[in-house]
Amino acid sequence: MSTTTTIVTRGDSRVRRSSRRVDPIYYLFLLPVLALFTLAITVPGVIGIFFSFTNSIGIGDWDFVGFINYVAAFGDPAILQSYLFTFGFSLATVILVNVVALLLAVGLTARIRFKAALRTVFVIPMVVSGIIIAYVFNFLFSNSATDLGSLLGIGWLETSILANPDLAWVAIVIVTAWQAIPGAMLIYIAGLLSIPGDVYEAADIDGATKPQQLMQITIPLVAGYVLINVILGFKNFLNAYDIIVGLTNGGPGTATRSVAMTIITGFNGGDYAYQMANATIFFLVAVLVAVLQLSVTRGRSAL
């Protein structure tokens, strides 16, 4: 990338303008990525939106039906329930993940022994497949937890909470958070390490306690990193699928069926066009959420 500088004279003042000319080699590197993105994401997305206005079952003949699929989706109780569950689950998980991740990051950046080893241990869940984690916790909730409930005489724990329509979502939040916390924790550690040590030394001299330093120094200075984790986490949790499949498969009934699971299940059940309309609606909702998040965080930075 080359830079040229021009000087413009206005009256008695001279204004320096700098313009950057992009070398063609950068476009050469950008072109393959842009082509792959178009072929793998944009084109299939446009085709899917097109078929959402048809009665296609995924194969065979089809006819245009207009907005019938969209009208039906807005009045479908199962789809509305999946949206309520997905957003409620995402909000609860975002809160849990950020609270625990921030506390762990504060602990793992303090002057304690074996910090490197502990960071490695806490990062392990992030590299394990979500479906494997789900099956492991499915066994724990269905066997170990029920045995513990019988031993301690805790009635609601004597049966698997995965079979309880009112508590199954709690298990999904716990397992999803268990896998997501390490990634958020690493971001918080990076934020905490960027805070100058002089700030805390000055606070110690002024007699500030550790809780006061946490609330009045640490949290305000890592606010930008909190925004990053909230945005990334909420986006990922909206697409929850594999952990839900491994834990409850959307049950009991449809109590824990997410939007992504509803769409994929519909594809396999022959409701291709109908669920494609649902996917288009979900895409627009996700875009709206992203725009709202960007409008809230505009002008703020983690640096």
pLDDT tens for each residue of 111-155: 777 777 887 888 888 888 889 999 999 999 999 888 888 888 888
Question: Structure pTM?
Answer: 0.83
If pLDDT is split at 50, 70 and 90, which confidence band does 14 have? low
Q: What is the pLDDT of residue 303?
A: 45
**Rounded to an integer, what distance in angstroms lies between the CA atom of residue 92 and that of residue 84?**
12
What's residue 47's pLDDT? 92
pLDDT per residue as tens digits for the range 53-103:
999 888 888 899 999 999 999 999 999 999 999 999 999 999 999 999 999
Q: 68-297, what's its fold? A: MetI-like fold (1.10.3720)
Q: Pick the range with the lowest mean pLDDT from 30-34, 166-170, 198-202.
A: 198-202
Q: How confident is the model at residue 278 (pLDDT cuts 50, 70, 90)?
A: very high
Paired residues of 9 in beta bridges: 14
For residue 200, give both structure tokens. Answer: 């805390």
Per-residue pLDDT band for 36 (boundaries 50, 70, 90) equals: very high
Residues of the chain with CATH 1.10.3720.10: 68-297
- pLDDT in the model for residue 151: 86
> What is the separation of C-alpha 31 from the centre of its chain, rounded to a whole number of angstroms?
29
Beta pairing partners, 54? 64
DSSP 249: T
Compute the distance between CA of residue 203 and CA of residue 221 in angstroms, rounded to an integer. Answer: 14
**C-alpha dist (Å) from residue 67 to 18, 31, 51, 81:** 51, 36, 11, 21
